[in-house]
């Protein structure tokens, strides 16, 4: 089985290890992975802010880069949702491109979804000594229907206990540019999320989207919380010997 990995811009730039964790997990699942070098960003910032022309231009570039692969795997629900749901919407007035967008959409998966539902990965070979809670990113949950998959895989990690937080399906207030356009509302929302995390008693927060993770980790660290933050792929790949998101070497 062959697949292309779309690393996503945030993972590429802020947390490269998420890309390597995804590679490792895909290889464990018996997938031969390619990483196309011409990839950048999926165009979501342009699309969600009403810049349809640029969103289309970027979408064309992504389609050209990835359309020769049988599968495209993305370690982010919102970027996967962009390719899966929104690319076909973008080209409503261009039948040729729309067909190409739809073809790519049908082969695009969020990482956890691909590992379990397509590649048939039943468990991982990893150890994590801690109690984790898992935040359901909005796009993963509602656009990609990812909910059970990461939890199922986390259940196979040695030493790991999963404790659900309240309102795990409620937005953390990131929302792409929302967090900088309406910082005050975003702050209140992420504070609610942080309170739910703390109340769960977990010592580690996991999620499948780097946007949410940077937001929540940023707030946790501002409040001097000791909760560690990782992308779920990092834990599943056993790559937690490095500091968590927002933790430094001095910590």
Q: Work out whether 88 is an interface residue with other proteins (CB under 8 A).
A: no
Q: Which of 6, 114, 128, 174 binds other proteins (CB under 8 A)?
A: 174
| Vertex 118: Cα angle to 116 and 123 (nearest 5) | 25
CB of 192 to other proteins, least distance (A): 8
Over 148-189, what HEC string results?
A: HHHHHHHCCCEEEEECCCCCCCCCCCCCCCHHHHCHHHHHHH
Asked if 141 and 169 touch (Cβ cutoff 8 Å), the reply is yes
Stretch that binds other proteins, among 147-155, 156-164, 170-178, 199-207 (CB under 8 A): 170-178
**Phi/psi class of residue 87: alpha, beta or left (left: φ > 0; alpha: ψ in -120 to 50)?**
alpha
Q: Work out whether 149 is an interface residue with other proteins (CB under 8 A).
A: no
Q: Work out whether 93 is an interface residue with other proteins (CB under 8 A).
A: no
CB of 225 to other proteins, least distance (A): 11
Per CB under 8 A, contacts with other proteins among 50-69 are: 50-52, 54-55, 57-58, 61
Q: Which of 1, 28, 49, 130 binds other proteins (CB under 8 A)?
A: 49
Q: Which of 2, 35, 155, 164 binds other proteins (CB under 8 A)?
A: 35
Backbone angles phi, psi at 14, to 5 degrees: -100, -35
Query: Distance between CA 204 and CA 190 in Å, rounded?
Result: 16
Q: Strands 228-231 and 204-207, how do they pair?
A: parallel
Query: Distance between CA 65 and CA 63 in Å, rounded?
Result: 5
1 vs 9 by CB, closer to other proteins: 9
Q: Which of 176, 195, 198, 203 binds other proteins (CB under 8 A)?
A: 176
CB of 181 to other proteins, least distance (A): 6
Q: Work out whether 163 is an interface residue with other proteins (CB under 8 A).
A: no
């Amino acid at each position: 089985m062959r697949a292309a990995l779309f690393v996503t811009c945030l993972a590429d730039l802020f947390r490269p290890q998420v890309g390597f964790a995804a590679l490792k997990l895909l290889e464990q699942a018996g997938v031969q992975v390619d990483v196309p070098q011409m990839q950048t960003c999926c165009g979501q910032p342009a699309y969600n802010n009403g810049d349809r022309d640029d969103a289309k231009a970027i979408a064309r570039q992504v389609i050209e880069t990835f359309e020769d692969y049988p599968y495209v795997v993305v370690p982010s629900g919102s970027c996967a949702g962009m390719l899966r749901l929104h690319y076909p919407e973008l080209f409503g007035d261009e039948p040729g491109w729309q067909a190409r967008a739809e073809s790519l959409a049908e082969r695009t998966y969020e990482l956890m979804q691909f590992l379990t539902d397509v590649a048939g990965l039943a468990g991982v070979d990893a150890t994590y000594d801690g109690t984790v809670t898992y935040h359901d990113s909005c796009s993963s949950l509602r656009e990609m229907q990812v909910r059970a998959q990461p939890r199922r895989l986390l259940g196979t990690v040695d030493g790991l206990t999963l404790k659900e937080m309240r309102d795990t399906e409620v937005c953390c207030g990131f929302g792409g540019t929302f967090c900088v356009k309406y910082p005050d509302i975003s702050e209140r929302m992420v504070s609610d999320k942080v309170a739910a995390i703390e109340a769960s008693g977990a010592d580690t927060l996991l999620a499948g989207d780097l946007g949410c993770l940077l937001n929540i980790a940023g707030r946790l660290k501002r409040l001097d919380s000791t909760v560690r933050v990782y992308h779920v792929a990092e834990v599943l790949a056993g790559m937690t010997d490095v500091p968590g998101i927002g933790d430094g070497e001095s910590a």
